[in-house]
Amino acid sequence: MGYRCLCCGHLTLPVPDREAVGYICPVCFWENDVFLRKHTHRSVCNHGMTLQEGEKNFIKFGACQERLVQYVREPKEEEIPPYYC
């Protein structure tokens, strides 16, 4: 079982989020930003988007940004957290 992506909530990170430097989630395409401290802070790794914006976009489009939809995939069964079931 992996670690939770801060944007989509799926268990796609190979290590805890504070250690997953530059990891891009294959489910939402959010690039993990270890320097981000709050959901409302702008992420340099994600072109100035806030995590809050990324979460809303994931709900709306299925990716952290609409233009990235073509790169994402559905979560694997083992990546779906228990509270999604």
Query: Radius of gyration (Cα) for the chain, nearest Å?
Result: 12
Residues 5-36: tens digit of each pLDDT: 999 999 999 999 999 999 999 999 999 999 99
Residue in the structure block whose two tokens are 């990170």: 13
Phi-psi sector, 9: left (phi>0), alpha (psi -120 to 50), beta: left
The number of distinct structural domains making up the chain is: 1
Amino acid 83: pLDDT = 75
pLDDT level of residue 51 (50, 70, 90 thresholds): very high
Q: Could you tell me the residue range of the domain that residue 70 belongs to?
A: 1-85
Average pLDDT over residues 40-63: 96
Quick count: other Cβ atoms within 10 Å of Cβ 76? Answer: 13
Quick count: other Cβ atoms within 10 Å of Cβ 22? Answer: 9
Amino acid 44: pLDDT = 93
Helix (H) or strand (E) holding 54: helix 51-61
